Structures are given as structure tokens and as C-alpha cells.
Amino acid sequence: MNTARLAKLYDRLTAAERFALLLAAAARGDEAERDRLVDAAPRVAVRVPDTFSRAMAFREVMDQHRMERLSIAALLFRAHAQAAEAEGAVKERVTDVARLLGYLVGVYRDGWAAFCEGLGVTAAGLEALLPGDVVLDLADGLAEYDGFTPEEAANYARRLGRDRPAALKTAASVAAELRAAYDVRRAWWDGE
């Protein structure tokens, strides 16, 4: 059956069937198919509190940021393990990478705190309930012990020949990125 004939049946699909087809279309990058499926879907009315868009945007940004933090933590642990096994110049290079990752662990943690403060929210209690809390605590401890300071990170970037160590992420730049992502998602949830 071709997609044109199948599209005529889209309004008869169950929500579960439509959802599966939407994910398949997204996986293959088929925006036209996705649009046809969405357009054929029946509409439902939902009443939500006026905080819904903010809560959804916050959760989306928090989840994405947490995944980034866990990814950096994994790289930090791997770099430390490799540095422990290396020798000579290789050990020195891998140790520097581990220290830079430690710097980033702190920057992403502090950027999240600054973002939350800018929104006037406290997420600490919520974050402790999410997966990966122990891993992030371990990464934070390792970063505090052995991560580059901002000055050391800038010097390291200079040693690598980077002309702009100012391009290194900072807590303020991470907070600004988070705020921009939050504003985009909040507007989307508000239908703007």
C-alpha cells in the first residue's frame, strides 16, 4: 500500500498506533509523514494550571542538562582511569583532560544553580530524586579535588593554541544557555 492510500486511513488509527508511526517517521526524518499523522489526529481538550508551560519547559531543560552533566561525569571518570594507567607525556595529557573535565563538571553544576536562582526556583530536592544523583555527587567531589580552576582552564586552552580561552564555558554562560532553552520551550508550550 502506498503512503497516499495509507494517509486516507490515518484518522482511523488508535492513539497508540499513531504514536508508533510518529516515532518511526521522526526516526527516519520524514517531516511530511509526521505532519500528515498529526493533522489526522483527533483533538482533545485539556485543562491545565497556568504553571503547566513553565513546569514542562523546566523539566525538559532539567532532563537535557542532567544528561549532559552525566555524560561529562562519565568522561571525567574514564579520563581519570586512563591517567592512572598511563605513563610519561601520555599521562600528563590525559591528566590535563581529566582536570578540564573536572572544571566542566563544576561549571555545569554552578550554571544550573545560577539558572535556577534566576528563575527563583529551588530544584535541589527534586534533583535528588532523579537517577544519577550519586554519580553526580562523586563527579562533583572529584572535580573539587582535582579540576582546573578557571585560570588553569584558560591557561590549558592557551597551551593547546586556542586564541580565545574566553570561549571556555563558564557558570554564567551555561546559565544563559539554559535560560535561552527554557524560554524557547516555555513559549512552545504556551503556543507562542
How do residues 120-139 score in pLDDT, each as one tens digit?
998 777 888 889 999 999 99
* 33-76 pLDDT tens trace: 889 888 888 888 989 999 999 999 999 999 999 999 999 999 99
DSSP at 168: S
Q: How far apart are CA 177 and CA 79, in angstroms?
A: 26
Using 50, 70 and 90 to split pLDDT, how confident is the model at 4?
low
pLDDT at residue number 11 = 80
Query: How many Cβ atoms from other residues are within 10 Å of residue 27's Cβ?
Result: 8
What grid cell was written down for 128?
Answer: 535528588
Residue appearing with cell numbers 497556568: 50
Per residue, the 3-state secondary structure of 41-106, as one string, reads CCCCCCCCCCCHHHHHHHHHHHHHHHHHHHHHHHHHHHHHHHHHHCCHHHHHHHHHHHHHHHHHHH
Q: Is the dihedral of CA 154, 155, 158, 159 positive or negative?
A: negative
Residue appearing with cell numbers 526516526: 27
Mean pLDDT over all residues of the chain? 91
Residue appearing with cell numbers 564555558: 169
pLDDT over 80 (residue 166): no
Of residues 10 and 97, more confidently modeled: 97
- pTM here is 0.83
Q: How far apart are CA 37 and CA 15, in angstroms?
A: 10
Q: How far apart are CA 78 and CA 72, in angstroms?
A: 10
